[in-house]
Amino acid sequence: MFIKGSENLRYEGSIYRPPSEAWSLIIQATIGCSHNKCSFCSMYKDKKFRIRKTEEILDDIKEARMYYRSIKRVFLADGDALIIKTPELLKILNFIKEWIPECERVGIYASPESIMIKTPEELKLLREAGLGIAYLGLESGSDQILAYMNKGADSEEIVKAGLRIKEAGILLSVTLISGLGGKKLWKEHAVESAKALSKMKPDYLGLLTLMVEPGTKLYDDVEKGQFQLLTPQQVALETLELLKNIDAEGCVFRSNHASNYLSLKGTLNQDREMLIKQLNEAIKGQIDFKDEYLRGL
């Protein structure tokens, strides 16, 4: 849900949001990503990171109010909007409460850094002001892969940040990227990711599948033959290994992103066997994988 028909349209560049925020009002609180260095990511390459002025953000909220009678959810974009200082974020959240009283949840992208620079008390204040869910990219639980991908944090740091979000009473949604270990490290990716996720036990786990975009370092590595992409069957095997090793009771598991070869949904740990059965059927060719041309980011 974007601010439509606005003369003062303030969206800058491409806007990304998690699949579960498809019907949310998108408010661009930051431009780009404060890290912007991951080898696989092209999302914000065209943007220089900055935090927008709070007044501009509040104006956007007022404007959206004019166009929509009912707004149940708001998502604060771009990447890592949690980096905004707590007093400013509280102003934004309180303004949403005042102008959009029917809003049930505000979501945000977070990074290990933006979480850890906030004290547990600050995160609780943000939750009380309406911050309901934070989306955190683990990408991989393997430190070797995270270092190669220039994620800027290791697995332990990401787990610690995720736990801090949960302790503040904010829902934690974690993203993992299938295929991020390539052919060389697929098993390490699956096993180490399962370990990290078992420690974090996120409320939601979203699985994306790696797509390499021109203009990224990873794209060049693939071109040079230094990184080999997995086939759809190999991605399914990797997910199978992940599911066999994960212990995250109550975590809602989804692999229904446009990039995924196979759409899976269930709740861990109770649906583990059902998910494994579907993966085995796909590996045996009894369920079709999505065609390459239908995939997207």
* Interacting residues with ligand SF4 (CB under 6 A): 33, 35-38, 41, 43-44, 79, 111, 137
Q: Which is nearer to ligand SF4, 111 or 140 (CB)?
A: 111
Q: Which is nearer to ligand SF4, 111 or 260 (CB)?
A: 111
| Min separation Cβ 155 and ligand SF4, Å | 15
| Ordered DSSP codes for 147-206 | HHTT-SS-HHHHHHHHHHHHHTT-EEEEEEEETTTTTTSHHHHHHHHHHHHHHH--SEEE
Q: Which is nearer to ligand SF4, 47 or 199 (CB)?
A: 47
Q: Which is nearer to ligand SF4, 108 or 275 (CB)?
A: 108
Only one residue has tokens 């600050």, namely 122
| Min separation Cβ 42 and ligand SF4, Å | 8
| Min separation Cβ 213 and ligand SF4, Å | 11
| Min separation Cβ 64 and ligand SF4, Å | 24
Q: Which is nearer to ligand SF4, 43 or 126 (CB)?
A: 43
- Cα separation, 254 vs 234, whole angstroms: 18
- Cα separation, 113 vs 115, whole angstroms: 5
Give the closest residue to 136 by CA, choosing from 47, 202, 210, 211: 202
Q: Which is nearer to ligand SF4, 165 or 236 (CB)?
A: 165
Q: Is 142 helix (H, G, I), strand (E, B) or coil?
A: coil
Cβ proximity of 52 and 28 under 8 Å: yes
Torsion sign across C-alpha atoms 133, 139, 142, 144: negative
Q: Which is nearer to ligand SF4, 36 or 269 (CB)?
A: 36
Strand pairing report for 264-267 and 252-255: antiparallel
| Min separation Cβ 152 and ligand SF4, Å | 7
| Min separation Cβ 33 and ligand SF4, Å | 3
Q: Is 231 helix (H, G, I), strand (E, B) or coil?
A: coil
| Min separation Cβ 45 and ligand SF4, Å | 8
Q: Which is nearer to ligand SF4, 33 or 275 (CB)?
A: 33
Neighbour-count burial of 199, counting CB atoms closer than 10 A to its CB (0-12 exposed, 13-18 middle, 19+ buried) = middle
| Min separation Cβ 40 and ligand SF4, Å | 7
Give the closest residue to 81 by CA, choosing from 59, 54, 62: 54
Cβ proximity of 101 and 69 under 8 Å: no
